[in-house]
Structure 1
Amino acid sequence: MRLKLEALKKIFTQLKYEQAVHFSNSKMHADSYCNYLNAGGKPCMLLSGDLAQSESSEVFESYRSFSVRTIVATDLIAAWNRIMTTW
C-alpha cells in the first residue's frame, strides 16, 4: 500500500491536471487514497456505492464547481456513468 501511495503522490505532484477521477478496487483503499491526498493538500472526495444519493450529488457538485479537483471512486462503471450523466 505504501508504494501505491508514493506513486499516487508522484503522479499528482508531477502531472498538471484540471480534474481527476481515481478508481480503486476497494472502499478501504479508496478511503486511504482520499485521506492521503487530502492530508497532502490535494482536496479530494470519495465516491462509492454506499453513499446516499444526496451525498453523491454533493460530491458531483463539488467536482463540477472545482471546489474539489479529485474524486476517488470505488466502482468504475457506476461512477463513470454517474459522472457522465450528471455533467
Structure 2
Amino acid sequence: GVCGTDKEIASGQYGWAPPGRDRLVLGHESLGRVARTVEGSGFEVGDLVVGVVRRPDPVPCGACAHGEFDMCRNGRYTERGIKE
C-alpha cells in the first residue's frame, strides 16, 4: 500500500523539496527483511526491519538524546521523505 501522507504529498497538499533540490523523495515508511548479518548485530537472517527516517534536533530533547527520535518532544527534528 501507499501511505496516506505520501498520497497527500503527491497531490500537492503537503511537502516541498529540500532547499537546493528540485524533488522531494517520497517513502518515509519502509519495511525490509534481513538478507545477511554480521556476528553481534542482534539480527537474524529473515528478521523484519524498518528504517528510521527522523533525525534528532541539533539541540536534542530528552527523547532524541536517547535515540528515540519518533518521540521528539520539541518538534524540531528533521524527517527524510516528509519534513525539510
- With normalisation by structure 1, the TM-score equals 0.25
- Greater RCO (Cα-Cα under 8 Å, separation 6 or more): 1
- With normalisation by structure 2, the TM-score equals 0.26
